[in-house]
Every structure is written in C-alpha cells, then in structure tokens.
Structure 1
Amino acid sequence: MEHPLIETDRLFLRPHVADDAEAVYTLARDQAVLQFIRGLPTTREDAWHRLLRYAGHWSLLGFGMFAVLERETGCFIGEVGLADFRRGLGSDFDSAPEAAWLFTGTVHGKGLAGEAMQAMFNWFDRERRHTRCVCIIDPGNLSSVKLATKLGFTRYGNGRYRDAAVEKYERV
C-alpha cells in the first residue's frame, strides 16, 4: 500500500520517517503536551520505539499516525492519525481505531490540530476502512474536548488509563 501524503493550506501530513526520531522525542518533552498526555517517550530510545510502532501500523493495518509539518517552514509541529493502541479499555473501545492528536505548545490555539485532523479524516472517510473510531481525553483538556466535538465525536463513557481518569469518545 502506498502511504498517503496530505496537504492543507498550512500543513503537510505524511507518515513518519526515521529522521523524525529527535522531533518525536522533543515533542514528548514539551510541557504543554505533558500536561494531559501519559505514556510519552522519556528517552531517545523510547522515541525510536514509538516511530517503529507507527511504521508497523502502516505496514500491518494500512493506517496510522502522520507527522505534521508546517508548509511554510517544513518544521515538525505534531502528530495526528489513527492507531490500534490496544489500551485495554474494553471491547467497546479497543475494537475501533483510536484517533490521536499531539502538537507542540508553540502552535496551540492556532487551529492547526483541527485543520490536520479534518484533513486526516477526509482521507480516512474516503477509504472507508472502518465506520467507527474512538479517542480518550483527559477531562481537564477542554481544548481537546472542544476539538473532538467539532470533529463529530460524542462522549459515551468514562475509563481509567495509566491510573488517571479519561473520557471515552466515539465518531460514527
């Protein structure tokens, strides 16, 4: 399968490449990111393993996470996509692709996450691989709750992940 390359007015989305390892590591150490996300790479080795996991998604499942680059500068600013993380949150959750978005704090509030996710969903919906996807959000992450709602997600339950409360959302 050929991996998709997606362009928007301000962004370029592509599957990760080996050279993204340092950017993935740096993103995972961003304080704005760490505020709500658990389980991010804490070492460069962990970041490398994360990249390999991303490549495996594309190879085995035909979908995965995209690196998000600013069109104007070519700078890596985040990640969006769908994955099968198998978090153990129940069959109602783990049976569907999980949407994820993660952006460096320097671009928060500019609408880039929404732009990237909408472009990713435009591609995913055309492919029609699945009719439902899910995501989990920290209840305090109001920006992500707002974005999920804008993208068509509705809250359907609560759970615990890595000893923290999360809200479960679905998009059908």
Structure 2
Amino acid sequence: MQTDDIRIETERLVLRLPHIDDFGRYAELHADEGAMKFLGGPLKRAEAWRKFLQMPGAWQLQGFAMFSIVEKETGLWLGQLGPWRPEGWPGNELGWAFHPDAQGKGYATEAGKAAMDWAFENLGWKDVIHCIDPDNVPSQRVAERLGSRNKGPGKLPPPSEDHPIDIWGQSRDEWQARRSA
C-alpha cells in the first residue's frame, strides 16, 4: 500500500501522515501534565522529538500508524489518532492523544470513526482495541461513542507493564453493523 498520499477528510478534520511542521504542537501536547496524565507523563522537548519519530517510522515500516489530525479550516494540528500495534501489544489498537486546546470538542470521535473505517477496510483487522487507564473517563467516553465496550483489565509490554489499563474494543462485524444502522 502506498502511504504517501493517504488523506482522509471528515466534516471538520483532515487525517494525514505526520509532517515535520506538526512537531511544535506535538511537543506542547507531550509537555502538558494534564494531557499526559494517563499516557506516561509529560516529556521534555528532546524526549518528545524521539517519540514523534515513532509514527513516521511505523508508517514507513508497517504501512500504518496514527494519523496527524488537523483542523480542515485552519490547518492547526490538533493531535494524533489511528491504528497502532507496537511489538508485544495486546491487540490492534486505535489510539489517540489530543492537544489540550483540542480536547472536549468531539474531534476524537469524528476522527475515530474515519480511522476505524480506514483500518478495517485497509488493514484487514478483525477487531480493534483501545488501551485505556481505568481512571481516564474522557477516553472511556470516546471509546463508548465509537461503539467499543470495556472487556476488562489488560497488560502492556515493557516498559509500560506496570501501567494499569482496561482493554476496550469491538469486532469488525460489530463496527460495520453500527455503521450501517
């Protein structure tokens, strides 16, 4: 699959591969204590740079990763969301992280629907999960709006094995039934 030209548009958003110009807002997101509370804690800019390179690398090597989510009207980078499966991961994840000024506006649900459609159509996945901290109620609400349900506690691979998660998810058949209803 040619990944260079992947671009998905929703009513308000563009989902695309990461660009170097996304890094400034990405670094702000990863420096924010509140936004990173359930994602391993805040990072210094140099640490955020190394983490930023994961998604372009995953796109190059795996043919999928989280999309950069950009506001269509302004071009402002809002966050990242999409398919993600690091080595040892408990399943095919659709994950997300949004800049603090983009949270609570429905962007994760809007982008999540488009990314779920894309992942099921292009990756051949039979199911999808979301690894969510048991105390992360906003992310649990996004998962619910996407039609996923809590399937119980899970375990991440090292170095995150001590981070508590619940695995939320659904099958492709469940997703398709909801989308066609």
Q: TM range, normalised to the smaller chain? A: 0.7 to 0.9
**TM-align CA RMSD:** 1.9
* Deviations, residues 42-86 of structure 1 (Å, cap 9, x unaligned): 122222222321112111211111111111111111110111223
Please give the TM-score of this superposition, normalised by the length of structure 1: 0.85
Q: Percent identity?
A: 32
Aligned length: 165
Partner of 2:11: 9
Partner of 1:78: 79
Counterpart check, 1:138 vs 2:133: yes
Partner of 1:57: 58
Partner of 2:163: 164
User: Which ranges of structure 2 fall in alignment gaps of 5 or more residues?
Assistant: 172-181
Counterpart check, 1:108 vs 2:107: no
Amino acid of the residue matched to residue 126 of structure 2?
T
Indicate conservation of the 8 Å contact 2:150/2:167, yes or no. yes
* 3-state SS in 2 of match to 1:106: helix
The Cα shift of 1:97 comes to 2.0
Query: For residues 38 and 138 of structure 1, what CA distance do their matches in structure 2 show?
Result: 10
* 3-state SS in 2 of match to 1:134: strand
The Cα shift of 1:105 comes to 2.0
* 1:110-129 matched pairs, under 5 angstroms: 110-129=105-124
Amino acid of the residue matched to residue 70 of structure 1?
E
* 3-state SS in 2 of match to 1:171: strand
Partner of 2:143: 148
User: Which ranges of structure 1 fall in alignment gaps of 5 or more residues?
Assistant: none
* Deviations, residues 101-157 of structure 1 (Å, cap 9, x unaligned): 111222222111100111111222222421122221111211211211221222222
Indicate conservation of the 8 Å contact 1:8/1:119, yes or no. yes
Query: For residues 53 and 31 of structure 1, what CA distance do their matches in structure 2 show?
Result: 21
Amino acid of the residue matched to residue 170 of structure 1?
G
Query: For residues 59 and 163 of structure 2, what CA distance do their matches in structure 1 show?
Result: 29
* 1:22-41 matched pairs, under 5 angstroms: 22-38=24-40
* 3-state SS in 2 of match to 1:73: coil
Query: For residues 86 and 41 of structure 2, what CA distance do their matches in structure 1 show?
Result: 12
Amino acid of the residue matched to residue 2 of structure 1?
T
Query: For residues 21 and 102 of structure 2, what CA distance do their matches in structure 1 show?
Result: 21
Partner of 2:178: none
